[in-house]
């Protein structure tokens, strides 16, 4: 299963100890630590205001959910143009988040 590391940590995989950065996505047999979230779990909801770029790219989410979260938090209208990819939408979400941090 694909798992997202939410916090930089060390994990043990078999005989090896790995250092994993926050935002990294790994292919694992099971969730080894409390700092990991499964990306294949349908119940996992994305926090558009705090999720890393990797999490937003890997997770399944609806455009309407993203538009509502970005509008409610930052008063920025998230518009999807024809031909835009998910990566472009994630860049817009992160841009709104970064611009809001500059203002506050």
**Confidence (pLDDT) at 46:** 83
**Domain extents in the chain:** 1-44, 45-104
Region for residue 75 given its phi and psi (left: phi exceeds 0; alpha: psi -120 to 50; beta: otherwise) = left
pLDDT at 104: 52
Per-residue pLDDT in tens (0 to 9) along the chain, 104 residues: 788 888 888 888 889 998 999 888 888 887 766 788 777 655 557 889 888 898 899 888 888 989 999 999 999 999 988 889 999 999 999 999 998 876 65
Q: What pLDDT is recorded for position 92?
A: 94
pTM: predicted TM-score of the whole model, two decimal places: 0.59
First-to-last C-alpha distance (Å) of the chain:
38
């Amino acid at each position: 299963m694909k798992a997202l590391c939410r916090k930089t940590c060390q994990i043990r995989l078999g005989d090896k100890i790995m250092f994993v950065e926050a935002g990294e996505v790994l292919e694992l047999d099971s969730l080894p630590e409390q700092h990991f979230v499964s990306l294949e779990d349908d119940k996992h909801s994305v926090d558009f205001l705090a999720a890393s770029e990797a999490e937003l790219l890997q997770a399944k989410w609806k455009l309407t959910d993203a538009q509502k979260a970005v509008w409610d938090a930052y008063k920025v209208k998230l518009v999807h143009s024809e031909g835009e990819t998910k990566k472009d939408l994630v860049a817009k979400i992160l841009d709104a988040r970064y611009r809001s941090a500059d203002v506050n």
